[in-house]
Structure 1
Amino acid sequence: MTKRNKIIYWVATLWLALGMVSTGIVQLIKMKEEVAMFTHLGYPIYLLTILAIWKFLGVIAVLVPKFPLLKEWAYAGFFFAMSGAIFSHIAVGDGTKEFFGPTLLLILTMISWYFRPADRKIISVNFNK
């Protein structure tokens, strides 16, 4: 892995972790604005706690060395949560401002996943040789 790619990976991953932890905290403490947004989107409030816990666990999975399969699941979870947030805002007719955050986190998820080091990837075995 080149030094450039390592820097891209860690910058994207640390910003992703910060974004997921900060939004997870807002969801866990059920800030008034977050509750209002979830109500506006038509989701039950208990989903805030579930998403927050998943975000915290996903950040741990992505940052801790080893466990490449768990990392894949965490990245997939981040991708599904953020793309779901974007489409939810679009579905209710929200403007660009409302889905900027999820879009940024989605992009950081893809960058972090793409530039992750080899020891954080699942190694596939081709048995057809």
Structure 2
Amino acid sequence: MTKRDKIIYWISTIWLALGMASTGIVQLLKMDKEVENFSHLGYPAYLLTIIGVWKILAVVAVLVPKFSLLKEWAYAGFFFAMSGAVMSHIAAGNPIQEIFPPLLLLVLTVISWYFRPADRKIVSVNPLHKPV
């Protein structure tokens, strides 16, 4: 991994972690504006607690060393949550300033996942593969 790749990884990962942690906390606290936003998108308020907890746990999983499989699940959760948020805002007819935050977190998720170091990836061993 090059120095450039490490810098890209850590910058995107830190921004992703800050974004997910802050929105997770806002969702756990069920702040009025967040409840209103969720309601506008057609989702029940109790979903805020579920998503908030998942986001906080996924941030921890992405930041701690080891646990490669858990990291994959966390990245997948971020991807599904943020792509779902983008699509929900589009379906609700929201303006771009409402779509941009989850879109940014979606892009940061993909960048962080793509540039993650080898020790944060799952090593796949195919027992059926025979060397030539």
- The reply to whether TM is greater than 0.5 is yes
Q: After superposition, what is the alpha-carbon deviation per residue over 1:76-111, rounded to whole angstroms, capped at 9, x for unaligned?
A: 000000000000011111111111000000000000
| C-alpha RMSD over aligned residues | 0.6
Match of 2:106 in 1: 106
CA offset digits 1:41-94 (Å, max 9, x no partner): 000000000000000000000000000000000000000000000000111111
Q: Provide the C-alpha distance between the structure 1 equivalents of 2:66 and 2:102, rounded to a whole number of angstroms.
A: 27
- Flag the structure with larger Rg: 2
Aligned residues: 129
Distance in 2 separating the partners of 1:74 and 1:68: 10
Residue 6 in structure 1 maps to residue 44 in structure 2: no
Percent identical among aligned pairs is 74
Aligned residue number for residue 59 of structure 2: 59
For structure 2, the 5+ residue unaligned runs are none
Partner of 1:79: 79
Identify the residue that residue 26 of structure 1 maps to in structure 2. 26
The farther-off stretch of 90-99 and 53-62 is 90-99
Is 2:15 the partner of 1:15?
A: yes
Query: What's the offset of the Cα at 1:126?
Result: 2.4
**1:116, CA displacement in angstroms?**
0.2
Q: Verify: 1:37 aligned to 2:45, yes or no.
A: no
- Partners of 1:28 and 1:117 in 2: CA distance: 31
Letter of the 2:78 counterpart: F
Shift of residue 121 of structure 1?
A: 0.2
CA distance in 1: counterparts of 2:92 and 2:63, whole angstroms: 34
Q: What amino acid sits opposite 2:39 in the alignment?
A: T
Q: Which runs of 5+ in 1 are unaligned?
A: none
Q: After TM superposition, which residue ranges in structure 1, 4 or more long, deviate above 3 angstroms?
A: none
- State how far apart, in whole Å, the 2-side matches of 1:32 and 1:126 are: 50
> Match of 2:100, as an amino acid?
F
**TM-score, normalisation: structure 1:** 0.98
